[in-house]
Structure 1
């Protein structure tokens, strides 16, 4: 197995790891307000998250910044909660271009926080290697592929429920976002650092 394949698989497994479901929750919260016909918007949104994630992952791995992991572990569910509550507030809104741009900004910004959460683990995996850009690139490509798979499955389920069971978009957003927000509150309580 090449280095690219190894780190690609690590990135894909990182996002799809059910025991580290905070990333899955965040990706679901990001795409809950969109319908399957809006897949291009969702792809840009997920990519914005990956860009943010990649940036802080690289900065910590290259020893350009250091972070308090306890604070980061608390901030990750905060980002999930904010995204879910934002969805609940927007559930009756017509999702126009301005709202999409705001979502892209939040995805990018929150991606920065999520990247910090995994950076120490990846840094330990890389050890003393000096040429790590290829591994970082492969990891983030794997992360993006995993996110796209999760979003595809989630949006496919949403489309089936809308089409066959006529679940209103507003009700779908409220149900999923409320559940995600509730889980995020539990995670915040479990990871509080004070």
Structure 2
């Protein structure tokens, strides 16, 4: 039971760590167009992001997919930027009917990229062969999922407060939040090691 708690906490800290806020930025950008009534779609998106993240770690553990850390560390803020730009340019526009499938696929892909960013550290802390890493990986994934739900709830509560009490329109909330995320992520891209 104690090992379960260790890897669950590691997953929670991975997302909720204020020093490594990339997950929070991505989730804020991804969730900005949604409200509590969209809970099914929100849960689906959070879960497929976790699935992509876990798949990347699994592929890394079994040495099927290995990408240089500098490339992944560059791609993480790029995925956040793309997500925020999407929110910025679609704010206030009616949602397309078959938009959900594309959003799910993109979210899985972005989850894979974010998972690759953690793969070197994850492989370093786990000893033994690949088979010994499967259970800790699943425990870690559960921690990721729980932490992401916490972040999403915080974003939805902020959206509710902004739209209900501060009288932001949904469009304005989306624009402001997306612009904020873009403003935070552009320096991350500009100072990436990939440019050196």
TM-score by length of 2: 0.95
Gaps of 5+ in 2: none
Conserved 8 A contact 1:46-1:147: yes
1:161 match: 162
1:20 aligns with 2:20: yes
Residues 89-134 of structure 1 show CA distances to partners (whole Å, capped at 9, x for unaligned) of 1102122442222221111111110000000001001023441111
Gaps of 5+ in 1: none
Q: Structure 1: how far apart are the matches of 2:98 and 2:88?
A: 17
TM-score by length of 1: 0.95
Residues 70-91 of structure 1 show CA distances to partners (whole Å, capped at 9, x for unaligned) of 0000000000000000111110
Question: What is the 5 A alignment of 1:42-191?
Answer: 42-129=42-129, 130-191=131-192
- Structure 1 residue ranges, 4+ long, deviating more than 3 angstroms after superposition: none
Conserved 8 A contact 1:25-1:180: yes
What's the secondary structure of 2:94's corresponding residue?
A: coil
Q: Structure 2: how far apart are the matches of 1:192 and 1:80?
A: 17
Conserved 8 A contact 1:61-1:120: no
Aligned length: 194
CA RMSD in angstroms, aligned pairs only: 1.2
Question: Does the C-alpha gap of structure 1 residues 100 and 62 become closer, same or farther in structure 2, counting only changes over 3 Å?
Answer: same
Q: Structure 1: how far apart are the matches of 2:77 and 2:113?
A: 10
